[in-house]
Amino acid sequence: MAAKWSIQLDELSKQSMTKDGALLEPAEAKTLSKRLYPLADECPSIWDELDKSGYGAPARIVREAHRELAGNAERYDQVSRYWIEYAKERLAGLIGPMDILRGRLAKVSAYRSELLDKLRADAKAGLLKGDGPIVSPQIEPTIKRYIELMPDDPFRVVVKDRIRAAQRAAAIAAHLHEVPDYSKFNSKQKYALLIERYLADLEPAGFTLDPHRKHGVVFRKIIARGQWAFVFVDESQDDLDGGRLSTQLAITLPQKAVIPGSLPLGAAATFSPSDLVPGFGAVCWFDASSYAQLCLACDANSFLAKSLASRVDMLLSRN
């Protein structure tokens, strides 16, 4: 099977796209789906790895907040299983289209979750009722409750304060230093520093920087014995002044160009760091006036990209 798939991918590298504009034929996409979704079973080890690296505290705080809201071990166990099952469906769906909360999965998807089907049925039956002005389509009760908290809810404020304190402590522990007058830099200057930081970490790990940078930057690493490229994309150039990194991940053919903001057009699979690490959005927050905290968020993304590239390489290299 591996040899046959390799021949098919070599041919795809030459043709680039199928007749209907897709990167893979349906059978090839199904094979990729089957090989990729087991990555979600590694989620707990990914979370632990981030914690041990010093980058995972904000995401861990978000998960601990869900534990507090759950109220008991049984309900939190469902939350943890939901995160893993959601990741499986998301990865199996490749580039979609899909609406996981409503159960509309991609045609090529090789996995459907029994837990998520049950939760979707409960939601459809009207068993999930919100009592506030924010209404989320989320189907897991504890996660829905967390999402629907008002921004000024005392619990949400406490969680945010914990995250900010953890970020400051992590930047100090990592010996990250501020750049004089960084807050006065324009967006272009800040983004140049961010790219430089990414390069210093990702290039030694075998990533290369794609030449086009109009809508963001693309770092790729060739994996699975040259059959695929693992892609890390940063689309933060318009978000730095707001104190947030925006990153995405993708799998494509080695020579296939991908465009930030339009990843599905050039990718065989796309997913977000948050699909695998609940709360990773908090890792991407930083004080917009702090170069040290920008570096911390950047380094966390680089660390995750390197880890996932290695894990995906192993999954897609198996016979």
Cα angle value 305/309/314 (rounded, 5°): 155
pLDDT digits (tens, 9 = 90+) for 227-267: 999 999 999 988 899 999 999 999 999 999 999 989 999 99
Phi-psi region of 153 (alpha: psi -120 to 50; beta: other; left: phi over 0): beta
Alpha helices, DSSP H only, in 16-153?
26-36, 43-53, 57-70, 73-92, 114-124, 141-147
**Taking the CA atoms of the chain, what radius of gyration do you get in angstroms?**
20
Name 170's Cβ contacts closer than 8 Å, sequence gap at least 6: 54, 55, 57, 296
Strand order in the sheet with 269-271: 208-209, 217-223, 228-234, 247-252, 269-271
Furthest CA-CA distance within the chain: 58
pTM of the predicted protein model: 0.92
Name 89's Cβ contacts closer than 8 Å, sequence gap at least 6: 37, 98, 100, 105, 109, 111, 112, 113, 116
User: Would you say the C-alpha torsion 216, 218, 219, 223 has a positive or negative sign?
Assistant: positive
Domain ranges, ordered by start, for the chain: 27-317
Q: Is the peptide bond before 133 cis (omega within 30 degrees of 0)?
A: no
At 277 the pLDDT is 98
At 213 the pLDDT is 73
Instruction: Say which residue the tokens 């990718």 belong to.
Output: 267
At 111 the pLDDT is 98
pLDDT digits (tens, 9 = 90+) for 189-209: 999 999 999 999 999 999 999
Check whether 8 has a pLDDT greater than 60.
no
pLDDT digits (tens, 9 = 90+) for 125-159: 999 887 789 999 999 999 999 999 999 999 999 99
At 7 the pLDDT is 42
Average pLDDT over every residue of 84-107: 96
pLDDT digits (tens, 9 = 90+) for 267-319: 999 999 999 999 999 999 999 999 999 999 999 999 999 999 999 999 999 86
Count of Cβ atoms closer than 10 Å to residue 37 Cβ: 22
At 19 the pLDDT is 42
How many Å apart are CA 311 and CA 285, to the nearest integer? Answer: 25
Q: Does residue 46 contact residue 274 with C-beta atoms inside 8 Å?
A: no
At 46 the pLDDT is 98
At 16 the pLDDT is 53
How many Å apart are CA 270 and CA 262, to the nearest integer? Answer: 10
Name 240's Cβ contacts closer than 8 Å, sequence gap at least 6: 187, 190, 191, 194, 288, 294
Name 118's Cβ contacts closer than 8 Å, sequence gap at least 6: none
How many Å apart are CA 297 and CA 164, to the nearest integer? Answer: 12
How many Å apart are CA 206 and CA 222, to the nearest integer? Answer: 8
Average pLDDT over every residue of 151-176: 97
How many Å apart are CA 275 and CA 82, to the nearest integer? Answer: 11
Split at pLDDT 50, 70, 90, the class of 1 is very low
Token couple for 143: 């996660």
pLDDT digits (tens, 9 = 90+) for 18-58: 544 578 999 999 999 999 999 999 999 999 999 999 999 99
